[in-house]
Structure 1
Amino acid sequence: MTGRREKARIAIVGAGVSGICLAVKLKQAGIDDFVVYDRAEAVGGVWRENVYPGVSCDVPSRIYSFSFAPNPEWDSYFARGDEILSYLNKVVEEYGIGPHLRLGEEVAEARYTSGEWMVRTSRGVESRWDFLVCATGLLVQPALPELEGKSAYRGAMMHSAQWESGVETRGKRVAIIGTGATGTQMTCALAAETEHLYLFQRTAQWVFPKPALRYSTFAKRLHRVVPGFSRLADRFWRVVFQGTVSAAVVRPGWQRRLIAGVCRVSLRRVRSTELRRLLTPPDNPMCKRLVAASGFYRAVQRDNVTVIGEGIGRITERGILTCDGVEREADVIVFATGFRTDAFMRSMKIMGKSGRTLEDFWSNGPKAYQTVALPGFPNFFMLVGPNSPFSSESVMRIAETQSDYVLRWIELFRSGAVAEMSPTQEASDEFNELLRSGMPGTAFSSGCTSWYHDPQGNLMVWPWTVRAHHEMLSRIQPSHFDIR
C-alpha cells in the first residue's frame, strides 16, 4: 500500500456520448479533478457533427439514453439526431459537467512520463494527469474517395458529416454517393423535395424497414410522472433489442432467419424487376451493419429518383461522369461514404511507456485488451474502443459498462493500492486470439467486406452477446496486469 490518495486527476479526450458518460460517473463518485477536452466548440460528438437531412438513430430511443438519465421527452421510437444532441446537452447541464469542459481545445500529444500523463493541446497548454481516457468515438474521421475532378466541380460538394447549413436542396438536382445508413436516410428525407435525386451505389445494402412511430403526449406524460413505467419500458426495449438484433448478429438461429426474412420481403416492395435486381445485395443480411430506414424502397421508386450502379469515373464541372460515359448533372454532391473506422484516436500522438507510440502499436490494425486498455500504456483507457459491441448494443450502454470498469481502477488508485497499471502483452494477445476464434458463426464473418474490418481485413466487432461483454468488465483480473 502506498497510502490513500484523496485525489485522482483524469483527462478525458472527447465530449461525445462516452466522454459525457464517464464525466457524469466521475461526478457521481465524488471525483472533481478532471477535464473533458474536445476539438469542437460544443459537446455531442457524432450527433453534433452529423446534421444532414434525415439523420436519426437506428437503436430504439428508450435504450439510446443513459440508464442514470432516462428521457421521457423522446418524440420518436427512433430518435432524430437533433433530439439526441438536445438530450446530451441536457445531461451536461443537469450533472454540472460544464465547468470541466475544455471545448475548442484539441489534444495534440499525450506522453506517459515519470508516472504521469503529460497532455499538450493545440493551444500549446501542457498539463499532467494520473489517468488518460480516450473517448474519441469510432466515427470521427470522414472517408472520402479519391475521385478525379473534384476541384473543378462548380456546385456545392461536401461529406455528410460536414453538412453545410446554407446549401439549398429543395428543387435542386442532388447526387448522393453511398447507400449505407447515411445515404438511405438522406434519400428518404430528400427524395420528395428535389428536382431529381441521383443515388450512386457501389454495393447494394440490405435495408430493414424502421417503423416511423412517434410517442403520444399521453405516453410522454406517463414516462414523466411514473418512474417505474420508464424503467419497465427500458427493460422491455433491452429485452427486445438484445433478444433479436443482438442475438442475430452473433449466432445462427431464429432471430437471424427472422430479420433476414423481413429484409428480403421488404425488398419485394420494389415493383421494377430491374431496380430490384440492382438493389439486391450480394451478401447475407447483417454481414454488414444492417441499414434501418423508414420508406427507402418507396423513395427510390419515385419518378425523380435514379439509382445508379455503374462505377464513378470522375467528377466534372457540372456533375458526375460514370464509367459507362454517362454524365449526370447535379447542383449538390454529397459523399455519404462513411468514416475511417480504424482511426479511433490516431489524430493524436500518444506515447506510452518506453516511448512506444500508439501508431506503432497499431501498425497491424487496432486491438486492445478487453476493449478498454493497451499493454505498455499505463493508466490509459479507451471507451468504445476496438471490438466493443457497437454492432449489437446501444453506444450509451457500452459507455456505461466501460466507464464503470475504468472507475474501479481509479478507486484502487485513490485507495493507494495501485499507482500504475497496464495489461500484460500476454493477456492482451490471449484476449485477441479468443476474439478471432469467436468470429466464425457470426453474421459478420459470412463472406463480405465492410467497415467492420480494419485495413488488414480483421474484424473489429464483438463476437459474443452483450451480456458477455458486461460480465467480462464487471470485474478486474489483477493477474492480467503489470501493477506497481
Structure 2
Amino acid sequence: MTKRFAIIGAGMSGILAGIKLKERGIADFTIHEKAARLGGTWRDNTYPGLSCDVPSHVYAYSFELKGDWSHRFSPGAEIQGYFEGVAQKYGLAPHFRFDSEIERAVFRDGRWHLTARDGTTDVADFVISATGVLHHPAWPDIAGLEDFAGARFHSARWDHSVALDGKRVGVIGTGSTAIQIVPAIVDRVARLTLFQRTPQWVLPLANPAYSEEEKAMFVASAERLRQSYDYWAARFIDTFARAVIGDREEMAKIEKACRDNLLDNVHDPALRALLTPDYRAACKRLIMSDTFYPAIQKPNACVIADGIERIEPAGVRTRDGTLHALDVLVLATGFDAHAFVRPMDVVGDGGRRLADAWSDANEAYRSVAVPGFPNFFMLVGPNSPIGNFSVIQISELQIDYILQLVDLVRSGRCQAVAPSTEATRRFNADLREAMKGTVWVSGCRSWYLDKNGNPALWPWSFDRFRDEMRAPDLADFALTA
C-alpha cells in the first residue's frame, strides 16, 4: 500500500529517517527544512572551538562509520561535512525541500495536511518530526540588551564578519558552548571577560588528533573501525550513563575527577572558589575540557560572578556597579530545550492541539508518539536519553521502532496508529518515579529541567531503552481501522 511521508527537519535525525525509508523501498517522502541547507545544530553552530562531546567514532550512523576523523572529539565543521556527505551518498537530494518551515500540521480525513511559512502545502499519511532539541536559541532577559553599541550575537548565530583580534570580548554564560569558545579566542583578543551565573564541573578529557597512520588504519579496516565504535559506545554506557541514574561508584569516580581537575589546575584560590559549583557533578550537563582552566587563567582573561545589572552601550554593568567595557558581546546562553516541535501548530484527531496537550508538561509515549495524534511520530522527543548516550544511537533505535508501527498501516492491518492515553500516563508516571534516583534532581538548575522541575531525560539504563525500542507493545496502542 503506497503511503506518503513528511519528515520535518533535515538534521541528523531527519537524514536518518530518509535513509531508513529508502531502505524499506519507500520513495514518496519529503524532508522539510526551515533553513537553506541540511545539518541542524551543526549547520547553525559555527562558533570558534566548536566540537562534539561524544567521541567521533561513535558520533556517526552505525551503518556509515567514518575512519578519517581528525580528532577524538570531532570539530563541528567536520560533522557538518559528514552529514552532507551521507545525504549525498544515500541519494536524499531530491527529497529535501529547503526554506520550508512547517507552521501548521492538521490531521484531517485520515491524512496530515501541512502548511509552510511561505504558504506552500503538503499532504502526507505519516509525519516524522525530526526537529531536534537544541535549535531555538535562548536569548537572556537582561535589561538594555538592545542598547549595546558594539557587535552582539548569540553563539548559535555567530557573526564571522566581526573581527575579534585585539578586541575586548565579553561572553555571557558558562555552559559547554562558552567553555569551548573561551580557549579558542583568548589568545586573539585583548581582553576576555566571562560573565558567570553558575560555575560548572569540568571533566578533564583531552581531544588528541588522530595521526595519519591511525586514520589510514581505520579507513582500511572496517573491523578496527567497528571495534573503536563498540569500545567508545561501551565506555559511555558502562560509566557515565550508569552514573547519572544512580550508580554511586561510577558517580564517585566522575566527581573525584572533576574535583581533582579544579584543585590541580586552577592555582589562584580566589578564582578556584569562583569556579567551584555548589551542586553535584553531572546535575547539569557535564562539561568535558582540558583547555578551559588554562585559558581562563591567562593574564587577559577574567571571570565575573557579581551578576549582571544591565547592558549599556559601552558594555556590561554588574550589580556591584562596575562597568565592564566591551567591543563584542557573545551570548552563550543556550537553547530552549523544551520546545520540541514548537512553534509548529500540530492539530490531531478531533481538533486536539499538541500545544494544549502539552500545556502542563511535554509528555509522550516512550518519547516517540502522543495520544490523539495518529501517524505522528517524533525522533528525540520528550524524555529521550539525550543526557545519557549518543543522540545518533538514540535516533537509530527510535526510527526502527517507529517504522514497525508504520508497517502496521502499510500492511493494511489498520489505517492509523497512536498510543493510548492510559499507556502514556502509565509510562510518564513511571518516569517521574524513576527520576527520583537520578543526579538530575539532586539540586541544581539546568536546561534539562522543564517548568515543573522535571528532567526531560531517560532515568533508566541503556539496556532498558534498547529493549523498549526493540518492538512496540501493541496493547499500548489504538489501531484505527
Bin the TM-score by the shorter chain: over 0.9
In 2, the alpha carbon distance for the partners of 1:358 and 1:140 equals: 19
**Correspondence for 1:75 among 70, 78, 81:** 70
> RMSD over aligned Cα, in angstroms?
0.9
- CA shift at 1:300, angstroms? 0.9
Q: Report matched runs for 1:382-421 at 5 Å.
A: 382-421=378-417
Q: Report matched runs for 1:27-66 at 5 Å.
A: 27-66=22-61
- CA shift at 1:243, angstroms? 1.0
Instruction: Verify: 1:265 aligned to 2:260, yes or no.
Output: yes
In 2, the alpha carbon distance for the partners of 1:418 and 1:406 equals: 15
In 1, the alpha carbon distance for the partners of 2:226 and 2:455 equals: 34
Q: Report matched runs for 1:283-298 at 5 Å.
A: 283-298=279-294
Percent of aligned pairs with the same amino acid: 42
- CA shift at 1:199, angstroms? 0.2
**Correspondence for 1:203 among 193, 198, 213:** 198
On the 8 A contact 2:409/2:417 being kept in 1, the answer is no
Q: Report matched runs for 1:342-353 at 5 Å.
A: 342-353=338-349
On the 8 A contact 1:252/1:442 being kept in 2, the answer is no
- CA shift at 1:401, angstroms? 0.6
- Residues 113-143 of structure 1, C-alpha deviations (whole Å, 9 max, x = no match): 1100001111212221110111000011111
- CA shift at 1:62, angstroms? 0.7
On the 8 A contact 2:114/2:121 being kept in 1, the answer is yes
Instruction: Verify: 1:478 aligned to 2:478, yes or no.
Output: no
In 2, the alpha carbon distance for the partners of 1:74 and 1:97 equals: 23
- Residues 22-54 of structure 1, C-alpha deviations (whole Å, 9 max, x = no match): 111111111111110011000000000000111
Instruction: Verify: 1:320 aligned to 2:321, yes or no.
Output: no
In 1, the alpha carbon distance for the partners of 2:109 and 2:219 equals: 50
Q: Report matched runs for 1:177-326 at 5 Å.
A: 177-268=172-263, 269-326=265-322
In 2, the alpha carbon distance for the partners of 1:129 and 1:472 equals: 27
Letter of the 1:24 counterpart: I
On the 8 A contact 1:175/1:200 being kept in 2, the answer is yes
With 110-119 and 209-218 compared, the bigger mean Cα shift is at 209-218
In 2, the alpha carbon distance for the partners of 1:458 and 1:243 equals: 25
- CA shift at 1:214, angstroms? 1.1
Q: Which residue of 2 aligns with 1:20?
A: 15
Letter of the 2:166 counterpart: G
Q: Report matched runs for 1:447-466 at 5 Å.
A: 447-466=443-462
- CA shift at 1:480, angstroms? 0.6
SS at 1:444 equivalent: helix
In 2, the alpha carbon distance for the partners of 1:428 and 1:33 equals: 30
Letter of the 2:385 counterpart: P
SS at 2:243 equivalent: helix
Letter of the 2:431 counterpart: L
In 1, the alpha carbon distance for the partners of 2:137 and 2:257 equals: 31
- CA shift at 1:253, angstroms? 2.6
SS at 1:321 equivalent: strand
Instruction: Verify: 1:106 aligned to 2:101, yes or no.
Output: yes
Letter of the 2:449 counterpart: H
In 1, the alpha carbon distance for the partners of 2:144 and 2:439 equals: 38
Q: Report matched runs for 1:71-220 at 5 Å.
A: 71-220=66-215
Letter of the 1:425 counterpart: T
On the 8 A contact 1:59/1:394 being kept in 2, the answer is yes
SS at 2:57 equivalent: coil
With 274-283 and 208-217 compared, the bigger mean Cα shift is at 208-217
Instruction: Verify: 1:424 aligned to 2:420, yes or no.
Output: yes
On the 8 A contact 2:204/2:258 being kept in 1, the answer is yes
Letter of the 1:422 counterpart: A
Letter of the 1:74 counterpart: W
In 1, the alpha carbon distance for the partners of 2:75 and 2:461 equals: 27
In 1, the alpha carbon distance for the partners of 2:146 and 2:251 equals: 45
SS at 1:108 equivalent: strand
4+ runs deviating over 3 angstroms: none
In 2, the alpha carbon distance for the partners of 1:145 and 1:288 equals: 18
On the 8 A contact 2:48/2:181 being kept in 1, the answer is yes
- Residues 84-113 of structure 1, C-alpha deviations (whole Å, 9 max, x = no match): 000000100000011100011110110001
On the 8 A contact 1:373/1:422 being kept in 2, the answer is yes
- CA shift at 1:232, angstroms? 0.9
SS at 2:88 equivalent: helix
> How many residue pairs are counted as aligned between the two chains?
479
Letter of the 1:368 counterpart: A
Instruction: Verify: 1:335 aligned to 2:331, yes or no.
Output: yes
Instruction: Verify: 1:377 aligned to 2:373, yes or no.
Output: yes
SS at 1:371 equivalent: coil
SS at 1:219 equivalent: helix
- CA shift at 1:252, angstroms? 2.5
In 2, the alpha carbon distance for the partners of 1:102 and 1:232 equals: 37
Letter of the 1:407 counterpart: L
- CA shift at 1:211, angstroms? 0.7
In 1, the alpha carbon distance for the partners of 2:188 and 2:239 equals: 35
In 2, the alpha carbon distance for the partners of 1:91 and 1:452 equals: 30
In 1, the alpha carbon distance for the partners of 2:46 and 2:406 equals: 36
With 64-73 and 117-126 compared, the bigger mean Cα shift is at 117-126
TM-score between the two structures when normalised by the length of structure 2: 0.98
- CA shift at 1:191, angstroms? 1.2
- Residues 282-314 of structure 1, C-alpha deviations (whole Å, 9 max, x = no match): 101011110112311111111100100011011
On the 8 A contact 1:149/1:314 being kept in 2, the answer is yes
On the 8 A contact 1:8/1:410 being kept in 2, the answer is no
Q: Which residue of 2 aligns with 1:433?
A: 429
On the 8 A contact 2:133/2:339 being kept in 1, the answer is yes
SS at 1:89 equivalent: helix
- CA shift at 1:151, angstroms? 2.2
On the 8 A contact 1:342/1:455 being kept in 2, the answer is no
Q: Identify unmatched segments of 5+ residues in structure 1.
A: none
SS at 2:244 equivalent: helix
